Amino acid sequence: MAAGWADKEDHELLALIQDGNGQAFAVLVERHTARFYRLAYRYVQNKEAAEDIVQDAFLKLWENPALWHPQRNSKFTTWFYRIVVNLCLDLRKKKRPEALDNDTLLMDDRQPADEMMMRAQEQKMLEKAIAALPERQRTALNLCFDGGLTNQEAAEVMGLNLKALQSLIMRAKTTLKERMKTYL
Amino acid sequence: MTDKRDEKLDGLLRSRSIEAASPDLAQRVILKAQQLPQSNSLPLWQWLRDLFAEFHLPKPAYVLASALVMGMVIGFSVPQETSQGEDDSGAIIQTFLSGDEALL
């Protein structure tokens, strides 16, 4: 990829995409796929489904680049997080996520076996507890702890003010502490 | 104690495991996009949303509009009684006038 392309800001790439530039689209996809996959995975807990969501979101942008309004949407990532979250929520409405079983838990084989078991159990309980949280609390948590966003950015994605977002996170953590008390 | 639990929970939240995405995910998306035509027109629902967003009004305007609508609804729910009253008074006047004529 030419250095010139990599240096371009997201909004510059989007302007080119609106003119039908496939190269700009490729740069944008390569730049952001990993972060949006990460967020989608948190919601659906399934690799294939998360990949499909990321693909659908980017294709939606490619097919209808007019969806992006530079004057209204301050930052591409903030706007696109919203699209990904909405697709995740749509999928959850259509289909309940499968419960995590022991096979889907990811273990680090460098740890001793008992520590690994303990860690796996913690992880399983945490995912269950997060899945049981109200939707907005779960979204706030996913955006702040996994999306790599600041609280202010996460608040913008959710269309909230900062205090409302902090309150959601606080409530989510209080619930998680209660549900995870044997592990904390 | 609470601080330790908070720290442990934060640590757990930050270290949630994730199944890595396929290394070719970005390429798959790019290839798929190449097969799709671009459309520069907005879908209808998006166009409508944008249209209404342009006409964004301040809250007092919505309150005023709601008050007007409520007033109209109340106004339309009353007129039967009012017109009945007018008819009655018309009949009384007519009786009164015809009474006068009888005297003459």
Q: What is the ipTM of this complex?
A: 0.79
Which chain A residues contact residue B38 at CB under 8 A? 20, 62-65
- Give the C-alpha distances (Å, rounded to integers) separating B46 from A69, A79, B8: 12, 15, 44
| Residues B33 and A25: beta-carbon distance below 8 Å | yes
Provide the pLDDT for residue A182. Answer: 79
Q: What is the pLDDT of residue A103?
A: 46
Right CATH for A99-184 from 3.40.50.2020, 1.10.132.20, 1.25.40.10, 1.10.10.10: 1.10.10.10
Instruction: With beta carbons less than 8 A apart as the criterion, state whether A85 and A50 touch.
Output: no
**Residue given tokens 């035509």 in the structure block:** B37
Q: What angle do CA A62, A66, A67 make, to 5 degrees?
A: 85
pTM attached to this predicted model: 0.69
Tell me the CATH number for domain A1-97. Answer: 1.10.1740.10
- The minimal CB distance from A176 to the residues B9, B30, B37 is found for B9
- Please tell me the distance from the alpha carbon of residue A176 to that of residue A129, in angstroms, as a whole number: 6
Q: How far is CA B79 from CA A12, A45, B55, B66, B83, in A?
A: 62, 62, 34, 21, 6
Tens digit of each residue's pLDDT (9 = 90 or more) over B31-80: 999 998 887 666 677 777 766 766 667 778 888 999 999 999 998 887 66
By C-alpha distance, which of A63, A80, A45, A151 is closest to B17? A45
Cβ pair B19:A106 closer than 8 A: yes
pLDDT digits (tens, 9 = 90+) for B86-95: 566 666 666 6
Distance from CA of A142 to the nearest CA of B (A): 9
pLDDT at A107: 47
| Strand positions, DSSP E, A54-107 | none
The residue extents of the domains of chain A are 1-97, 99-184
Has residue A168 got a pLDDT over 80? Answer: yes
The confidence score (pLDDT) of residue B44 equals 74
DSSP conformation class of A147: S
* Number of neighbours of residue B12 by Cβ within 10 angstroms: 20
CA distance A143 to A29: 20
pLDDT of residue B88: 62
SS3 state at A29:
helix
- Mean of the pLDDT values across residues A151-157? 90
CA distances from A47 to A41, A121, B19, B37 (A): 6, 20, 6, 27
| Residue A104 pLDDT greater than 60, yes or no | no
Residue A22 pLDDT class (50, 70, 90 cuts): very high
Cα B36–chain centre separation = 35
8 Å CB contact between A106 and A45: no
Mean model confidence pLDDT for chain A: 85
* Min Cα–Cα distance to chain A from B60, Å: 22
Choose the mutation target among B2, B10, B19, B32 for the interface with A, i.e. most A CBs under 10 Å: B19
Distance, CA of B91 to CA of B96 (rounded, Å): 9
